[in-house]
Amino acid sequence: MAVGSGGGGANEMSFVSVEQSDGVALVRYDRGGRANALSAAAMTELTDAARHLRTDTTVRAVVLTGAAAVFSGGIDLSDPQLWPTGGDVLEQHAAIERGRILCDAWAALPQLTIAAVEGPAIGGGGVLAMALDWRVFGRGAHLRLPEARLGFTLAWGGLPRLVSLVGPARAKRLLFTDLRVDAGLALDWGLADLVAEDGAVVADSLRLARDAATVPPLILRMTKRAIDAQTDQTRLAHGDSDQFLLGRLLRDAAGA
C-alpha cells in the first residue's frame, strides 16, 4: 500500500484512506453508511494500514478517525465472514480473532497514536479506540460497550485496556449497566484525553499529533515502548476470544 506524503497525498482503498504530511499520518475509516460497522473486509484494510505504517520511519504520529458522524458502531453483525454458521468451531474462532489482530496491530505501532472520535464508538469501535495511545472526543461523541448485556465477554484485548484506563469498578459499571459514556464523563474517567468541538476533532487531533511529533523520533519510540512495557496487561487476555466464542455458542444453543 502506497501512502501519500509531502503535501498531503492520499491512498484510497475501499474503506480506508491514508494521508501523510510533515511526519503525521491521518487514517480515515469510512464505509459510507452501515453505522461505520467493522466488517471483515474493513478489519483487513485497517490492519493492513497499521502494518504498513509500522514500517514507515518517516511517520512519527498517527491519527485514526471514522466517518464524520460516527467513529464506528462496532462489529458488523450482518457479515457472514465474521459470524460463520454451519462451519466448524475453528472457523468461528478464527473469525473472532480478526478483531484481536486488528487491535493488536494498532496497539503495536511504534508511533504515537490518537483516535479522533466523532459520534458513537460502540462495542468493537470503542475497543479499537482504546488500543490507541490517546483519544480525542467531540462534544457529541460517546462510547458504549454493550457486549455483556448481549451475552458476550469483551474481547479483542479490550478488557485489560479498559481496566487500565478506568480501573476495575468503573469497568464493571460500564460493562454491566451498558453505560453511555459521553465526552465529559470520558474525560473525567480517562477514556478521553481531550474534548474538542464537534467537527473540529480531526483538526485538534492532528494538532496534538504534530506537537508530539516534535519529539526526536527515536526518543518518542523508545519512551512509548518503555511506558507500554510497564502498563500492558493484554497478556492476561489470552483467552478472551475463547470466552467470546463460548458466549456465542451458549447464545446459539439457548435460541435453538
Q: Among residues 87, 135, 130, which one has the least CA distance to residue 115?
A: 135
Q: How confident is the model at residue 253 (pLDDT cuts 50, 70, 90)?
A: low
Judged against a pLDDT cut of 50, whether residue 144 lies above it is answered with yes
The pLDDT tens digits for 86-134 are 667 777 767 778 889 999 999 999 999 999 999 999 999 999 999 999 9
Q: How confident is the model at residue 4 (pLDDT cuts 50, 70, 90)?
A: very low
Residues in the chain: 256
Q: What is the pLDDT of residue 12?
A: 44
| Mean pLDDT rounded to a whole number for the chain | 87
pLDDT bracket for residue 11 (50, 70, 90)? very low
Residue with cell 511504534: 110
**pLDDT 10s digits, 71-84:** 999 988 788 777 76
pLDDT-derived band of residue 53, with 50, 70 and 90 as boundaries?
very high
**pLDDT confidence of residue 242:** 62
> Which triple of cell numbers denotes residue 70?
460516527
**Looking at the predicted structure, is the pLDDT value of residue 9 above 50?**
no
How large is the average pLDDT for residues 123-148?
96
* pLDDT (average), residues 146-167: 90
pLDDT at 78: 84
Q: Alpha helix locations (H) across the chain?
A: 40-54, 89-107, 124-130, 147-150, 158-166, 168-176, 183-189, 201-212, 217-231, 240-255
Between residues 99 and 48, the one the model is more confident about: 48
Tell me whether residue 125 is exposed, middle or buried, using C-beta atoms within 10 angstroms of its C-beta: 0 to 12, 13 to 18, 19 or more. Answer: buried
Write down the pLDDT at residue 236: 55
Q: What percentage of the chain reaches a pLDDT higher than 90?
A: 67
The least confident of 122-126, 151-155, 208-212, 231-235 is 231-235
pLDDT, mean of residues 245-256: 62
Residues 30-55, mean pLDDT to the nearest whole number: 94
Contact status, residue 19 vs residue 26, Cβ threshold 8 Å: yes
CATH architecture of residue range(s) 10-202+217-255: Alpha-Beta Complex (3.90)
Question: pTM of the entire structure?
Answer: 0.87
* CA–CA dist 76, 152 (Å, integer): 15
pLDDT value, residue 29: 97
